[in-house]
Amino acid sequence: MEADGQTWLYTLGALLVISSMSLVGAVSLTINAATLSRILIFLVAFAAGALLGDAFLHVIPEIAESKDGFNLLASLSVLSGIIMFFSLEKILHWHHAHFPSEDVLHPVAVSNLVGDGLHNFVDGAIVAGAFVASPHLGVVTAVAIALHEIPQELGDFAILMHSGLKPKRALALNLLSALSAFVGGITALLLGSISAVEAWLLPFSAGAFVYIASTDLIPELHKEPEPGKSLLQLLALSSGVLVMAALLLVE
């Protein structure tokens, strides 16, 4: 089905609102550096929970409910996401060690930006496809994705901050990653459908989220052995999962 002018307008307007959710981290600019430093590790724990919740409660069930279901291609795509991000970080760590510079992003930051960018691309395509089907479905889909983006983007911002970025630079890079939703939306509107690409990108994103949460974020939490803080980290991680679970009610 070809998209008309109204569909283009609705889609781009919805994606503008969704992309603006990446600026949720701006609240950190109102917090003094000492306080932000103390709470950052708990935000990282929340981010780990949100990433795992997104992968296992949203992305993978969405694939399973699709026309082809969770088939061999989907399984290989999840695994390829894990392996590709392992390879990416190996290359980035090597470059970081041999060419140290304050301008070179930490490997964890790069992995998170790439993984989130791919996911936002798919979200943009999904929103566009929904508006092509009907304005009502488009609005419902856009609202669900926008709500989903708030905890996701808060976690992404925490990851970027924890990797050593200043708040303003973290916000700018997070926004840049979020704008990939426009690329996905415009691509879907021009092509009419990118279902074949989504069939690969969705599980690939799930693999990326599981890898980042399990190998980059959770090991950081183990560096704090104090029982009280460990309990708070567990609660923060569980909160990330629970927020993603609660969002199932609006999807």
pLDDT in tens, 89-138: 999 888 777 666 666 788 889 999 999 999 999 999 999 988 887 888 88
Give the model confidence (pLDDT) of 173-210 as tens digits: 999 999 999 999 999 888 876 776 677 888 999 999 99
Residues 114/180, Cβ–Cβ less than 8 Å: no
Q: Rounded to the nearest 10 degrees, what angle do helices 5-20 and 180-191 cross at?
A: 160
Per the structure, how many domains does the chain have? Answer: 1
Q: Identify the three-state secondary structure at position 179.
A: coil
Confidence band of 167 (pLDDT split at 50, 70, 90):
confident
Of 33 and 204, more confident: 204
Q: Read off the pLDDT of each residue in 226-239 and give the average, rounded to a whole number.
A: 95
Give the model confidence (pLDDT) of 50-64 as tens digits: 999 999 999 899 888
pLDDT of residue 215: 93
pTM: 0.85
Q: Which residues constitute the domain of residue 98?
A: 5-250
Of 33 and 221, more confident: 221
Rounded CA separation 184/194 (Å): 9
